[in-house]
Amino acid sequence: MRKILGCLSVLGAMAFVSCSNKDVIHVSGHIENPGNVKVVAFYEGDRKLDSVFLADGNKFKFEREATQPRLLSLAVGNNKYPIILTPGEELKFVADMHSPENYSVEGSALSSALQGFAPYKRRQEFVQDSLQSAFAKATADKSSEEIESLRFAYLTEFKAKLAQYTTQAVDFASKHKNLAGFYAISTLDPEVAEREILAYAEEIKDQFTENRYVSQFKEEAAKLKRLAIGQPAPAFDSFTPDNKPVKLADFKGKYVLVDFWASWCAPCRQENPNLVKQYNTYKDKGFTVLGVSLDNNPGSWMRAIKDDGLTWPQVSDLQAWSSALVVDYKIKAIPTSYLLDPDGIIIAKNLRGKELERFLEQTLR
């Protein structure tokens, strides 16, 4: 209705202009064996755009005004399918919920390209889910030390298998210089593929400038770059438990692990014995730790420092999650850590347990 009214509003002034489907994106199709599913939903990134009911024969149709291709996810129950809707094209989509991975698309070369990438994405999701499930079973009734050892083994395997997926996504993007290639890169894990994500963001910095999803990706990439390996760590200053000022710049000339933790954080406290061990091993070889607490209770903070035997510098503004450092360092969970070289450049992130031990051994031996 809005489209028709839009045409009528200019008809009197410009009688020679007519409406066409060139500025409309369109997808229609049907869902076989939908079960309890009654609607098909459409997302752009994490934002839900719209949903349409399944009609007779489990058919659906979605249209929206658009002046450029839109990368969307078509959701049927818990199944999401990436599609690219281009103005003027009429995409046909069919899926069977008895075999949801087997779907068909017609009328869109870009959506067909995404369908070719789908097996890689499904494999990545299967590997991730399988490893998480196996880790949960393996760590049942284990001690904190045993869990940490298993965590390292599973994390190593996880990163190795995701590295293969990263290669597949980058190769796909290099062959598809369009939104299909962008989709592949957008699925990468920043913890594993930081370098590849930043390189791609730089490559497309002047492309897809009006696409909301791509703009969001570029914004996140810019935030990621500020704290990427190879970048200088953001400067900050804070106070010790006895209210003495400390600056990050005070640690120039040493390798320093900036460790974000809190007295109430169980994984942080479990990691502290390892930090004590590594600190005592390498403190005379140019390594130190700067503990940054997200506590808001000074008593609990100081007791944890004493109980865990943390003899390196400790600072906090006692603002917990309201601390400016939570924003500056993109802290979403703790423990989080950044390892800096003597010039204050980030050289590693979130190293724990055997990972940290191995890195320090290789760097400071």
Report pLDDT digits (tens) over 229-270.
999 999 999 999 999 999 999 999 999 999 999 999 988 998
Q: Is the pLDDT of residue 226 over 90?
A: yes
Which one-letter amino acid corresponds to residue 319?
Q
pLDDT at 21: 57
Residues 255 and 190 in one domain: no
pLDDT at 148: 65
Q: How confident is the model at residue 142 (pLDDT cuts 50, 70, 90)?
A: confident
* Domain, as residue range, for 306: 237-364
pLDDT at 324: 94
In a domain, 19, yes or no: yes
In a domain, 231, yes or no: no
Contact by Cβ (8 Å): 298, 321: no
Residues 103 and 127 in one domain: no
List C-alpha distances in Å: 90 to 15, 35, 101, 107, 117: 27, 26, 22, 6, 21
Domain count, the chain: 3
Q: How confident is the model at residue 332 (pLDDT cuts 50, 70, 90)?
A: confident
Per the document, the length of the chain is 365
In a domain, 302, yes or no: yes
CATH of the domain at 333: 3.40.30.10
Residues 119 and 99 in one domain: no
pLDDT at 145: 64
The per-residue pLDDT for range 104-123, each reduced to its tens digit, is 999 999 999 999 999 999 89
Q: Is the pLDDT of residue 354 over 90?
A: no
pLDDT at 12: 33
Residue ending a domain, among 52, 79, 107, is: 107
**Distance from C-alpha of 53 to C-alpha of 128, rounded to nearest angstrom:** 32
Residues 248 and 325 in one domain: yes
CA 351 to chain centre: 18
Q: What percent of the chain has pLDDT over 70?
A: 93
**Three-class DSSP labels, the chain:** CHHHHHHHHHHCCCCCCCCCHHHEEEEEEEEECCCCCCEEEEEECCEEEEEEECCHHHEEEEEEECCCCEEEEEEECCEEEEEEECCCCEEEEEEECCCCCCEEEECCHHHHHHHHHHHHHHHHHHHHHHHHHHHHHHCCCCCHHHHHHHHHHHHHHHHHHHHHHHHHHHHHHHHCCCHHHHHHHHCCCHHHHHHHHHHHHHHCCCCCCCCHHHHHHHHHHHHHHHCCCCCECCCCEEECCCCCEEEHHHHCCCEEEEEEECCCCHHHHHHHHHHHHHHHHHHHHCEEEEEEECCCCHHHHHHHHHHHCCCCCEECCCCHHHCHHHHHCCCCCCCEEEEECCCCEEEEECCCHHHHHHHHHHHHC
Residues 249 and 359 in one domain: yes
In a domain, 358, yes or no: yes
Residue ending a domain, among 86, 107, 128, is: 107
List C-alpha distances in Å: 15 to 2, 22, 257: 19, 18, 70
179: left (phi over 0), alpha (psi -120 to 50) or beta: alpha
pLDDT at 209: 85
Six-digit token pair at 129? 């889910």
**Cis upstream peptide for 100 (omega within 30°):** no
The per-residue pLDDT for range 35-93, each reduced to its tens digit, is 999 999 999 888 899 999 999 999 999 999 988 899 999 999 999 999 999 999 999 99
Six-digit token pair at 166? 């990263």
Residues 242 and 219 in one domain: no
CATH of the domain at 88: 2.60.40.1120
Q: How confident is the model at residue 2 (pLDDT cuts 50, 70, 90)?
A: very low
Residues 205 and 286 in one domain: no
The per-residue pLDDT for range 182-207, each reduced to its tens digit, is 999 999 988 889 999 999 999 999 99
In a domain, 255, yes or no: yes
In a domain, 291, yes or no: yes
Residues 70 and 31 in one domain: yes
pLDDT at 9: 31
Q: Torsions phi, psi of 318, nearest 5?
A: 60, 30
pLDDT at 156: 77
Residue ending a domain, among 193, 226, 259, is: 226
In a domain, 232, yes or no: no
**Distance from C-alpha of 318 to C-alpha of 238, rounded to nearest angstrom:** 10
Residues 242 and 324 in one domain: yes
Q: Is the pLDDT of residue 276 over 70?
A: yes
Q: How confident is the model at residue 14 (pLDDT cuts 50, 70, 90)?
A: very low
Residues 265 and 323 in one domain: yes
Contact by Cβ (8 Å): 75, 43: yes
Residues 15 and 64 in one domain: yes
Residue holding tokens 């490559």?
203
Q: Is the pLDDT of residue 17 over 70?
A: no
Residues 10 and 85 in one domain: yes
Q: How many CB atoms lie within 10 A of CB 136?
A: 10
Q: What percent of the chain has pLDDT over 90?
A: 72
| pTM of the predicted structure, to 2 decimals | 0.76
In a domain, 216, yes or no: yes
